[in-house]
Every structure is written in structure tokens, then in C-alpha cells.
Amino acid sequence: MYKLVTTLGLTVAIAGCDYEAGHAVDGGAFGNATMNNTLVMNGERDYAVSLANRFNEEVPATVNFAFDSTVLDAQAQQALDVQATWIRQFPEIRFRVYGYTDLVGSNAYNKRLGQRRANAVVRYLTARGISRSRLEAVVSYGKTQPLIQTQERERKNRRAITEVSGFVKRHPTVLDGKYAQVVYREYVESAVPPSGLTESQDGGGFVTGQ
């Protein structure tokens, strides 16, 4: 059952199962946009750090590889698809990819292997529409930073990690205190028209379904 609400000459139906703008992007942050702007302007909060934290919370930042391989399996591709979707929402942000290996093999070989793994991630993200200019020079740590201390083969050590690294230089949206603009962009895009409404053909807003 719909409740009809008339505002500014338009009649809309409000259904309990529908969502207002901002329902999916609040997370306790939307109401803090002004505060975040103030903190960024005052130098008390780094906007890039805030987005880096969001990226790590909302996106699988790590993909893993088979032994001595740079092939992105189905699980890795799925994670990178999520990364690409998130990255496209923030055209003002740059990213860096780090490659790692397990402890099997020489330092020199693993340094090259880590680089190839990072390159594989960059190629995949660019194929998904991410500008190569937004993906900074990839870095290989080889076997120097294992998650699991073992000389044996270890999948968790064979990985590539994507991280927020800063801003795109001279991007038109890169200004101090832009946190609110990013939140507002997501806020608008999150709006879902109430069920049963269709947009009228004469531009008069939404009308209830028959």
C-alpha cells in the first residue's frame, strides 16, 4: 500500500521497501562531511588517507597467485573487478600496486617475479577502464615481506596489493576540502525511485503505477 505525498505540485508514492538518497553511502560518514572538510582544510586530516582507509575497508585489496605464476585466476579477477568499480568512482585518486612472492627461490628471481605480478594487476585494471596514468609505477618487494614465515611454498605470500597513493596532478576535482563533494556524488547516485513509480513523459516528475 502506498502513501501519497504531494510536494511542490508533484505527487509521489512512498513505499516502505524503498530507499532515500544516501541510504547506502552513509556508514556514519555522510553527516560528517562538513567536519571532514574543516579537518582537511586545517591540515588535521589527510583526504587521501581517509580514502585509503575506505578502500581497504570496502574492497579486497589483495590478490594471490599460484606458485611461480603471474596468472590471475577467477578469484583474483573477481577481486580486481571490485577494485576497478571502486576506483572508477574516484577519478581524482592515484593507486600503486605492490608485488610479492613466497620465500622459495633467489632474491633476484623473486624480485622480478613480484614485479611481473604487479604488472599483471595493472594490465587487468587498465583493461577494465582504469587510466594507466592513475596507476603509479608498480613496486616489487619480492620475498622480503612474507606474511607467513616459512621456507616452503605459501600462497598467502604470493600476492599483489593495490593501495591508494595520492592525487592525480591537475585533476579538476582536486581541491582542498573536497571530501563533501565525493560523498555528495555517492549520495545522489544512491537514490532509488520508490517502487511503483514511473517517470512521466511530460517531465512532470514521477507518477504512481496503475
CATH code for the domain of 172: 3.30.1330.60
E-only strand ranges, the chain: 3-7, 10-14, 62-64, 93-100, 135-142, 159-167, 197-199, 206-208
Give the number of other Cβ atoms within 10 Å of residue 198's Cβ. 11
pLDDT, tens only, 176-189: 455 556 666 666 66
Does the pLDDT at position 76 exceed 80? yes
Q: Is residue 39 part of a domain?
A: no
Does the pLDDT at position 120 exceed 50? yes
Q: Is residue 181 part of a domain?
A: no
pLDDT, tens only, 5-29: 444 444 444 444 454 554 454 455 5
Q: Which of 31-45, 68-82, 121-135, 152-166 bottoms out in mean pLDDT, i.e. has the lowest? A: 31-45
Q: Is residue 32 part of a domain?
A: no
- Tell me 193's DSSP state: P
Q: Is residue 51 part of a domain?
A: yes
pLDDT band at residue 209, thresholds of 50, 70 and 90? Answer: very low
**Count of structural domains, the chain:** 1
| Domain with 110 in it | 46-176
Q: Is residue 190 part of a domain?
A: no
User: Which residues contact residue 194 at a Cβ distance below 8 angstroms, ignoring those fewer than 6 apart?
Assistant: 2, 12, 13, 14, 15, 18, 206
Does the pLDDT at position 149 exceed 70? yes
Distance CA 180, CA 175 (A): 11
Q: Which grid cell sits at 138?
A: 608498480
Distances in whole angstroms, Cα of residue 149 to Cα of each of 87, 121, 169: 32, 25, 39
Higher pLDDT, 105 or 48: 105
Q: Is residue 109 part of a domain?
A: yes
Q: Which of 31-45, 46-60, 116-130, 156-170 bottoms out in mean pLDDT, i.e. has the lowest? A: 31-45
Q: Is residue 128 part of a domain?
A: yes
